[in-house]
Chain A
Amino acid sequence: MTDAIALHERYLRAVQERTPVATVTVIRGDGVGAKLVVLADEVQGTLGDAATDREATDRARALLDEGRSTSVMIGEREVYIESTPSPPTLLIIGAVHAGQALCMFAKAMGFDVIVVDAREKLATRERFPQADQIIVAWPDEAMAQLEVRPNWFIAILTHDPKFDEPAISSALQTPARYIGAIGSRKTSADRRQRLRDLGISDEDLERVRGPIGLDIGAASPEEMAISILGEIIAMRNGRGGGALTHASGSIRGQQG
């Protein structure tokens, strides 16, 4: 196995294992094409000399923390550093029709998708062929098994207080980036009041988006999925989600 193949295989394995990994490639100067594969506690390959490798490793780890890719000068060489952080995860609670469309679109966008529902007839592999994981359990039981991280997004689609409320309560215990819950304005307002009565603070309730999604008049399951993903994209980029024709400034966001 050549060095280039070994490096590629190491990168590939990290991506498959969802381990954060950066690659550093010389694009100008000595040794164009030389590569480093940088993980949190491991470095493979060389750009040419140990000092360059050390500096590149430090830069790569800092960029990996930010989830950002860029080209930088290291000594006389210009290198391109590509960050591949662990993928964002969408947790869909409620294996309903809108959840099927949401799962499909979220997979296309590069999310890992986990589907949770206590109803075993709904939470099936046939209905969610692309899901990374399907858990048949009550929302709070499932949440107890999962280590929710800050790049997780939770869409609660159960539309039934007996599932929604434990789902929201347990989601609020996590550092999830996004918590949205389906329901009409009336359902959402009633749910908010019941959760308040259970002792959940207004500050916590502020984290819950409900009715879920952007205001695009979504009606079909697919439209609802787009509306929800639109809200998630907007939140990742710190945007409100209006029409670009009525906005100014940069079209593209810095994804967080």
Chain B
Amino acid sequence: MKDILPQIETWRSAGHRVAVATVVKVEGSAPRPVGASMAVTDSGELTGSVSGGCVETNVFEEAQEVLRTGEPRLLRYGITDEMAWDVGLACGGTIEVFVEPVAE
């Protein structure tokens, strides 16, 4: 989260609510390592990344739900996608992404 912290703080000080999504587990080959993170605001802005662009749009939607409900979520993306969404990783690995509201 450190890399995107300056942007998160800029958003927070402007009064936006922010959710952060972090890669917490990687199995096999994945575009970004554990610790990679992205943040989104309640106004629809986005910074950082958790993959090479493969799952960001879905994480973005999930993050909006996290902001709406205030409940964190653990997401799993892989080639054998356990979720109903039509998103996954091109490189064949599996990642878990934890999405939580920042400082709420």
Interface of A toward B, CB cutoff 8 Å: 2, 4-5, 7-9, 12, 15, 23, 25, 27-28, 32-33, 69-71, 80, 82, 84, 110, 252
Q: Can you list 29 contacts pairing A with B, beta carbon distance less than 8 Å?
A: A2-B103, A4-B101, A5-B103, A5-B104, A7-B103, A8-B102, A8-B103, A9-B103, A23-B1, A25-B98, A25-B100, A27-B24, A27-B74, A27-B96, A27-B98, A32-B72, A33-B71, A33-B100, A69-B35, A70-B34, A71-B24, A71-B96, A80-B25, A80-B98, A82-B22, A82-B35, A84-B1, A84-B2, A110-B3
Which residues of chain A are within 8 angstroms of B9 by Cβ–Cβ distance? 12
Which residues of chain A are within 8 angstroms of B90 by Cβ–Cβ distance? none
Which residues of chain B are within 8 angstroms of A4 by Cβ–Cβ distance? 101, 103-104
Which residues of chain B are within 8 angstroms of A23 by Cβ–Cβ distance? 1
In the complex the two chains form, what is the Cα distance from A104 to B16 in whole Å? 29
Interface string of B1-29 (1 = CB under 8 A from A): 11101000100000000000010110000
Determine how close the nearest CB of chain A comes to the CB of B24; give it in whole angstroms: 4
The 9 lowest CB-CB distance pairs between A and B, nearest first, are A8-B103, A80-B24, A33-B72, A69-B35, A5-B103, A27-B98, A71-B24, A71-B25, A84-B2
Interface of B toward A, CB cutoff 8 Å: 1-3, 5, 9, 22, 24-25, 33-35, 71-72, 74, 96, 98, 100-104
Which residues of chain A are within 8 angstroms of B104 by Cβ–Cβ distance? 2, 4-5
Which residues of chain A are within 8 angstroms of B35 by Cβ–Cβ distance? 69, 82
Which residues of chain B are within 8 angstroms of A5 by Cβ–Cβ distance? 103-104
Determine how close the nearest CB of chain B comes to the CB of A153; give it in whole angstroms: 18
- Contact, CB under 8 Å: A82 / B1: yes
Which residues of chain B are within 8 angstroms of A28 by Cβ–Cβ distance? 74
Determine how close the nearest CB of chain B comes to the CB of A11; give it in whole angstroms: 8
Which residues of chain B are within 8 angstroms of A32 by Cβ–Cβ distance? 72, 74
Which residues of chain A are within 8 angstroms of B102 by Cβ–Cβ distance? 8
Given that A28-B74, A33-B72 are contacting pairs, would A80 and B33 also be in contact in the complex, using a CB cutoff of 8 Å?
no
Which residues of chain A are within 8 angstroms of B96 by Cβ–Cβ distance? 27, 71
Given that A5-B103, A8-B103 are contacting pairs, would A252 and B72 also be in contact in the complex, using a CB cutoff of 8 Å?
no
In the complex the two chains form, what is the Cα distance from A33 to B1 in whole Å? 15
Q: Among the listed A2, A15, A80, which residue makes an inter-chain contact with B22, where contact means beta carbons less than 8 Å apart?
A: A80
Which residues of chain A are within 8 angstroms of B74 by Cβ–Cβ distance? 27-28, 32
In the complex the two chains form, what is the Cα distance from A25 to B73 in whole Å? 12
In the complex the two chains form, what is the Cα distance from A33 to B99 in whole Å? 9
Determine how close the nearest CB of chain B comes to the CB of A174; give it in whole angstroms: 25
Which residues of chain B are within 8 angstroms of A7 by Cβ–Cβ distance? 103
In the complex, the chain B residue whose C-beta lies closest to that of A32 is: B72
Determine how close the nearest CB of chain A comes to the CB of B36; give it in whole angstroms: 10
In the complex the two chains form, what is the Cα distance from A25 to B97 in whole Å? 12
In the complex the two chains form, what is the Cα distance from A2 to B103 in whole Å? 8
Which residues of chain B are within 8 angstroms of A71 by Cβ–Cβ distance? 24-25, 34, 96
In the complex, the chain A residue whose C-beta lies closest to that of B70 is: A33
